[in-house]
Every structure is written in C-alpha cells, then in structure tokens.
Amino acid sequence: MNIRLYNARILSMEENRDIFFGEVWVKKDRIVYAGDGTDTDSIYQKLQIPCMIWDREIDCEGNLLMPGFKDAHTHSGMTLLRSYADDLPLNDWLNQQVFPVEAKLTDEDIYELTKLAVLEYLTSGITAVFDMYLTPYSIYKAFDEMGMRGVQVGGVNNFSQSPELLEEYYLNLNGKSPLQSFMLGFHAEYTCSQELLMKISEIAHKYKAPVFTHLSETKAEVEGCRERYGMTPVAFLDSLGMFDYGGGGYHCVHVTEEDIAIMKKRGMYAVSNPGSNTKLASGIAPITQFLKAGVPVALGTDGPASNNCLDMFREMFLVTGLAKLKEEDAAAVDAMEVLKMATVNGAHAMGLGEADVIAEGKLADLIMIDLKTPNMQPLNNIAKNIVYSGSKINVKMTMIGGRILYENGSFLTDEKPEAVYEKANDIISKYK
Amino acid sequence: MNIRLYNARILSMEENRDIFFGEVWVKKDRIVYAGDGTDTDSIYQKLQIPCMIWDREIDCEGNLLMPGFKDAHTHSGMTLLRSYADDLPLNDWLNQQVFPVEAKLTDEDIYELTKLAVLEYLTSGITAVFDMYLTPYSIYKAFDEMGMRGVQVGGVNNFSQSPELLEEYYLNLNGKSPLQSFMLGFHAEYTCSQELLMKISEIAHKYKAPVFTHLSETKAEVEGCRERYGMTPVAFLDSLGMFDYGGGGYHCVHVTEEDIAIMKKRGMYAVSNPGSNTKLASGIAPITQFLKAGVPVALGTDGPASNNCLDMFREMFLVTGLAKLKEEDAAAVDAMEVLKMATVNGAHAMGLGEADVIAEGKLADLIMIDLKTPNMQPLNNIAKNIVYSGSKINVKMTMIGGRILYENGSFLTDEKPEAVYEKANDIISKYK
C-alpha cells in the first residue's frame, strides 16, 4: 500500500526539530517523504515516478503524526493473568498465583493470549514490543500474524529454556520476517545459576551481541545477590562479561551509583517499568540519575499481570510523575525527555534504529494522535499534553510497517477482536 | 426521557452486592428499577402504568453499568492552563505562570473554559464534580447548560471573594437547578487571615453546614501554619470550630495521626488528589491510615493545570498504586475500596446521597463501561480491571440525571465540542 497522510502536524522526534505542519508519504513499509508538502515535485522525481499513485490519501485534519511508542519490556502472554490475583503481597502473587498457572500454559494458549495483548498495544499506539516469555516460536507466530513488530528476548533460567535453546532462538528467529527479531537475554540473576550465566555470556561473546535481563527490580533481589556473590546484580553480571556488547536491564529500580557507572560504560539501556513497579510496590527507579549519567532510559509496561494494562500513556505519566515525587521537584524529567524514552530510546534499545523517528527512509511505524478531544485542548503545548494528559482515547491510528492496524477505534488486523476475547476467556476457564 | 438499559452487567456499588446481570430503568432523572429483569410485571404495576413506554431501549450487550464517578475536587476553569507551564518548581509555576493569567480571566472566559472541562469529565465517566473556582455564577451557568451535575464550593481567601459573597452564593446557588448546588468552603488556611477564617466558621455555624478547603497539601503549608499558630492546619481550623458540622479537606497529604483523629471525630472526608500531588511533587497521602481510622476517602482530579488531565481512571490507579509504593506493600488499598472512593464516598462528601449507587429511587447518574476492549479482557475480575486497567477508552456512555450526554465517543451536549475548543483556544491566545 502507498499511503499519503496530509494536513498533519508532525512530531518527528528527530533531534531539535519542532512540530511542523505537512505530510508523510508511505510506500510499502517505509516512509519516503516527511516534510511541509511544498517541495513534492522534486520528491516525485526522486522517487522516479511521474506521480505517486496512492492507495489511500488520509486527511489528518490537523491531528498529530508521531513515531509509534516502543514498549521496551513486556510479557504479552500474561494477559491471561490480568486481574487474576491483584492486591496480594508480591511473593504470594508470584508463587501461589502466577507460577502454578504458567506451568500449565501450552504453546497454543500463549499464542492466543499474545494476540489479545497485540490488540491492546494497538489501542495505545504501541508499534513494537520487547517481549520475554515462555514460548518464542508461538509468540513469533502470533506477532507476525497480527502484524505486530516483535522483538523477543531470551528468558532462560534454571527452570525453563536453556543456553542451547537461547542460541537456537537467536539463529532461527532473526532475519526471517521483516517484523520479527530476537535478542539474547535471560530471566534474572536470581533465577539463574552462575554456571548458566557464564554460558549465556559465552553466547553473547560468540555473537558479539547485547544481553537484556530483569535487573535490580526489588530490594530483596539485590540483597540476595550481595549475599550470594558479594556484589550487586549489575556488578556481578558485568564481572561475567555479560554486557561486553551492551544490552540493558528491565526495571533497574534499586541500582547504586557504581551500577549506573557500569551501565554507562557498557552502553546499556535502563528500561523503566513504572506502572509495574508501582502496582507491585517495588520502588521508584532513579530516572534523573540515569539521565545525568548519560544512560538512556526506555519505557515498558511489563506484563499485564503486574501492571495491569498495556498503556504507554500510563508509563509516560508515571515515569516523570514518580521522579517528581522521589526528588520532591516538580521540574524533574521534562515531557520531551519522556517522549524520547517512549519512542527513540525504546527503538534503539530494541535494535530498531530504523523505526525510531519519522523521516525519509525510516520504517513506517507511526501513529496519529487525535488532538480534537477535550483532554488535548487547548493546544498550549502538544508534547506536554501527550505526556501529562494523553490517553488511549487519543490514538486515532496505529500503523506498523506501513500497514494500518487500528483506526478510529476499529481493528484492521486479520483476526477480529471478538474471536480473540473468546479464546482468552476459554483459556482462563480451563485453569480456574 | 424514559430509558430502559437491558442485557447489562450491573455494579450497583451497594454494600456487599456483587455484580449481577439485569436491567436498569430510568424515568426522567431517576432510576425506577435495577434488578435481574425477572420481576418486571410487579414493577410496572408499582409504577402505576400498565406498560412503560420507552423513549429508548438500549441493549448493553453484556457491558457494565455502574454509578458515574464523582470528581470530588477540581478547578474546571483551569483548562486554560493545561500544559501552559509544566515541569516547573511549584512556586514558579503558581506565582509566575498561574496567578498572573488567572488575574486577567473574565466571567465569560471561565464560563467557556468550564464547558471544555465538562466535555472531558464526560469522556471519563464523571457525572458530578466538586468545583472550586473564581466565578461561581458563570460556572453554575456553564455546568447547567452542559447538563453537568455541579457542586460548587466557596474559594474565599484574602485576595478574592468574601464572607458576604460566600453567604450570597450559598443562598443563591442552592435549590434552583436540580443539577446545581453550593457548599461552604475557602481556599486554604495559608491564604486566609484568622479573622476571615473566623467569619467563615460563623457562617458554617449559622447554617449548620459542612466546610471544605485545601488542607495540608504541601509540607511548606503545614510548616507555615505551625509557625503562625503553633498547630497543624487541621488542628488550627478545628480550633476555630470550622468543622463542627463536618466537611473535609482536599489533598490531605501531610497530616498527622492527631489530624486524622480530628477528621474522624468531625465526620470529615479526605479528598485525595494523587495525580496532582504526583505532578506537583507534593507527596503521597496516607490513604491506609485514613481507612484504618474510618475517615472516608474520596477522589478528585484537581484542576487541569496541575494534573493535567481530568481522568478518574488515572486517579484510581494512582491512589492505590502510590499507597502500595508508600507502604512497600502490594496488598495496600484494594480495588473495591478504590471504586467506593470514586463513586459512593465522593457522592456523600458532595452532599449527593441520592447519586451514590444504582438502586431504585436514586438519581440516574450512571455510566456504561465497555468490556469488549482488549484492556478489559479476559473477564477475570471486572472491578479490578476497571481500577488497574481501565481508561477513558472504556467509557461507552455517560448519563447525568437521566440524560445521556456522551455515547460511543460522541457528545450529545447542546454545545458541540468544536465550538468549545475554538473558544478555549481564542481565550488562551488573548493571554499569551
């Protein structure tokens, strides 16, 4: 499909570029033009066609186009456990409620449950997700069939998956679909033996690849690691050479200054999950310290069992709001910084450098924000409106790889939502 | 209009009543029936009509009816200042940005800006607001014309309004419109002289009426009061007899155990504003302590200049989320307690005992929650879904006093949103 989006405000998220008025042209899965629409003749020439034939021309009516949000940490298949066991202490929740159900899930269950998550991502303008869960092949299939850009990450630990499987996934799940990729990773320090971690580090060195993991999410995790190895999780994993080719940590709530220095040195990303950290009472991540140290921060929803929603608007408000509370400073972490976390930084963390901004040659992963809703008015400052006042209600269109998958409240995915809901409810009734 | 809503799940919010399946009948502005729909013949008889003639019959398709949310603290007219000056320290924000613009606002400006807020309330399922702002007559007009249930509260302080005006508003703005009322109140201890406060207390005694005010919102406020009077704001105001007939405090972030005991003794409400307290870095209110002491907690958005959105879903997630963080306990403040804050407690605080639950004889202030969206699936626990995963996207219908004002994303208000947006943008351009 070739699609012309015109009469739009455009927040390209390129460095130092203000919102401008103009159009975005999409040819197949790429952006071939993003500009003010006045120099289009030369563009037609450059594209070597006398006049672009459009499959669709969309009048954006002054609404905003921006890069889609990148959900840089999630467990999509956990939609099953949304509101299944809330308001419980963390240990009870995990050991008595989550793990016993997860142990019974089949590949097919997770395939269906992942599709439910995809529908929700689309409603929140999320165009790519960084997903860690149990069954990479069926998750790959679900993302690909739904049209979702999925970057999966290994979740190996003492109880499931293995270094061999991790390597197999890495080799099998990259380079096959334009929408799917796989990165090295493991569940967490506290669920992996040192021997296992060393094998993962070896694989990272073999492929010169970055590694991602749950990192310093809770106080107890850090204390446990100190007892086991006399080091924080960041320092211990780094001592194994785990991050010699970069990577990052999910959560990163309880990190020290030394941890932050290591993360900076290794080119690591801090993927913050403020919604989950709030609901599970894990704490507030030191966002300002990461930014000061030059460690890029990305944002993720975490899985729907712990958050419970897959909504980047919630995460955006919380990442700055909680920083303001933590530092007792209403000026902490400004809105543009937050938008960068939710788009550009997420894309870079996930190896999606071609899906970071709206610009010629980039992947057409973009969204339209409805500005004609009461929560976006008046138009004092659109970027701040999105971060502080935005909601799923504002997502007018979600496009991934040039394909519009959600528009004006309707899903244009191949599988219809009613079928997905029915299957999810069937699955939960099996385990209740 | 007589409206029959059938094929619905109903969360009536009556004490100890689970969600049930059935219908709600609305006759003019009242609920005349809420039940499972099997005993309707006797109801027809009781209503003394052989067969109800419906103006509309709405198939709810299994979606949820519940009482509308009560936004128990807001400043609607501040829509003007949404995203006008964010990411600033509190004092700069207030003194350099907010106050200078507010000083110039006319009655007519506030009338228009209040209408913009009403549109947003409707999108969030808010059916009544507890509003404190500068021009009660023009705000009254805006609410009434838009069909919004408005409970205004006095905002008298050393710089605007007066005890005489407060009494005038109280006498003039009650009992005239079925949708509008007015309660005694003042801005805050720190903006009122002791002499002024004593006059307000006299008025409260004259009318045996509750009094509401901003109360212990910031540390600085409490410290200032201690310096001035050697007491906390709660204790000092109580020493003037201010709360002898009840009332409540907005924010109540920095209260002591003694303060909470006073609030309990006086039958006061703690109206929490977690969104605003987060964004302005004011702190986290001691919600669990209020609940333990038996002080009912209600929820408010505060004004759009400090939050920046008017969204009870945000407030619901935050009031429990921040309590969990504060107490490092994921079990703190469960979801049903939060729903009670957002509906029943708010109604009672605002003197709207007839708009608290869905039951025969109550005011028809209710909303329909769309359960057929990905964030509400699967249906493990609907109440928890609403609190932890709900969003404006889930508000399928908002009805106030039997009148549907918002349905399937469209406003059925007399004034259309485009006209409201245009006027709001015109007003801001005057002051920029």
Do A148 and A192 belong together in one domain?
A: yes
Which chain B residue's Cα is nearest to A378? B425
Beta-carbon separation of B309 and A388 below 8 A: yes
Comparison of pLDDT for B251 and A100, the residue scoring more: B251
The mean pLDDT of chain A is 95
Residue B385, preceding bond cis, omega within 30 degrees? no
Identify the CA nearest to B299 among candidates B278, B271, B267, B321: B271
Domain that holds residue B211: 69-353
- Residue A70's region, left for phi above 0, alpha for psi from -120 to 50, else beta, is beta
Alpha-carbon torsion A156, A267, B87, A65, what sign?
A: negative
Residue B431 lies in a domain: no
Residue A206 lies in a domain: yes
Average pLDDT of the segment spanning A9-37: 96
**pLDDT tens track for B1-18:** 899 999 999 999 999 999
Quick check: pTM over 0.90?
yes
Question: At residue B39, does pLDDT exceed 90?
Answer: no
Distance of CA A133 to the CA centre of its chain: 14
Residue B275 lies in a domain: yes
Task: Identify all chain A residues contacting B332, using CB atoms and an 8 Å cutoff.
Answer: 87, 281
pLDDT of residue B48: 66
DSSP summary character for residue B183 = E
Distance of CA A16 to the CA centre of its chain: 23
Structure tokens at A267: 């080119």
Q: In this prediction, what percent of chain B has a pLDDT beyond 70?
A: 99
Structure tokens at B152: 């205004």
Do A139 and A225 belong together in one domain?
A: yes
Structure tokens at A76: 């999509």
Average pLDDT of the segment spanning A235-261: 98
**pLDDT tens track for A91-103:** 787 788 888 888 8
Residue A428 lies in a domain: no
A359-368: string of b/e by CB count within 10 Å (b at 16+)? beebbbbbbb
Residue B121 lies in a domain: yes
Question: At residue B265, does pLDDT exceed 80?
Answer: yes
CA B297 vs CA A8, A69, B70, B183, B308: distances in Å: 44, 35, 12, 18, 21
A97 touches B: beta carbon within 8 Å: no
**Weakest mean pLDDT among A44-48, A414-418, B112-116:** A44-48
B416 touches A: beta carbon within 8 Å: no
The mean pLDDT of chain B is 95
Residue A32 lies in a domain: yes
Comparison of pLDDT for B88 and B427, the residue scoring more: B427
Question: At residue A85, does pLDDT exceed 80?
Answer: no
Question: At residue A401, does pLDDT exceed 90?
Answer: yes
CA B393 vs CA A89, A112, A266, A408: distances in Å: 29, 23, 41, 12
Average pLDDT of the segment spanning B206-234: 98
Among A116, A309, A388, select the one facing B389 at the smallest CB separation.
A309
CA distance A381 to A199: 50
B384 touches A: beta carbon within 8 Å: yes
Do A279 and A404 belong together in one domain?
A: no
**pLDDT tens track for B405-424:** 999 999 999 999 999 999 99
Do A261 and A280 belong together in one domain?
A: yes
Average pLDDT of the segment spanning A123-129: 98
Beta-carbon separation of B123 and A87 below 8 A: no
In order, the DSSP letters of B313-359 are: HHHHHHHHHHHHHHHT-TTSS-HHHHHHIIIIIHHHHTT-GGGSSSS
Total domains in chain A come to: 2
Do B346 and B405 belong together in one domain?
A: no
Question: At residue A207, does pLDDT exceed 80?
Answer: yes
pLDDT of residue B50: 53
Among A82, A378, A393, select the one facing B392 at the smallest CB separation.
A393
Beta-carbon separation of B418 and A331 below 8 A: no
**pLDDT tens track for B267-316:** 999 999 999 999 999 999 999 999 999 999 999 999 998 889 999 999 99
Do B33 and B98 belong together in one domain?
A: no
pLDDT of residue B52: 65
Residue B125 lies in a domain: yes
pLDDT of residue B66: 98
Do B38 and B161 belong together in one domain?
A: no
A317 touches B: beta carbon within 8 Å: yes
Report whether A183 contacts A203 (CB < 8 A): no
pLDDT of residue A99: 84
**pLDDT tens track for A369-400:** 999 999 999 998 999 999 999 999 999 999 99
**pLDDT tens track for A275-289:** 999 999 999 999 999
Q: In this prediction, what percent of chain B has a pLDDT beyond 90?
A: 88
Identify the CA nearest to A167 among candidates A111, A207, A212: A207
**pLDDT tens track for B304-326:** 988 899 999 999 999 999 999 99
Q: In chain A, how long is the greatest CA-to-CA distance?
A: 69
CA distance A7 to A368: 12
What residue type is B89 in one-letter code? P
Task: Identify all chain A residues contacting B280, using CB atoms and an 8 Å cutoff.
Answer: 324, 330
Of B353, B388, B420, the one marking the end of a domain is B353
**CATH code for the domain in which residue B75 is found:** 3.20.20.140
Beta-carbon separation of B324 and A281 below 8 A: yes
Of A353, A385, A419, the one marking the end of a domain is A353
Chains A, B: CB contacts under 8 A, how many? Answer: 233
User: Which residues 285-304 of B have a C-beta within 8 angstroms of A?
Assistant: 304
Distance of CA B293 to the CA centre of its chain: 22
Do A47 and A146 belong together in one domain?
A: no
3-state secondary structure of A186: strand
pLDDT of residue A51: 60
CA distance B307 to B325: 20
Question: At residue B49, does pLDDT exceed 70?
Answer: no
Beta-carbon separation of B425 and A379 below 8 A: yes
Of A353, A386, A420, the one marking the end of a domain is A353
Average pLDDT of the segment spanning B251-277: 98
Task: Identify all chain B residues contacting A324, using CB atoms and an 8 Å cutoff.
Answer: 278-281
CA distance B380 to A111: 19
Q: In chain B, how long is the greatest CA-to-CA distance?
A: 69
Do A34 and A61 belong together in one domain?
A: yes
pLDDT of residue A270: 98
Do B57 and B93 belong together in one domain?
A: no
Do B378 and B288 belong together in one domain?
A: no
A425 touches B: beta carbon within 8 Å: yes
Do B376 and B387 belong together in one domain?
A: yes
A91 touches B: beta carbon within 8 Å: no
pLDDT of residue B428: 87
CA B48 vs CA A96, A271, A357, B32: distances in Å: 54, 64, 65, 12
Residue A327 lies in a domain: yes
**CATH code for the domain in which residue A26 is found:** 2.30.40.10
Average pLDDT of the segment spanning A163-174: 98
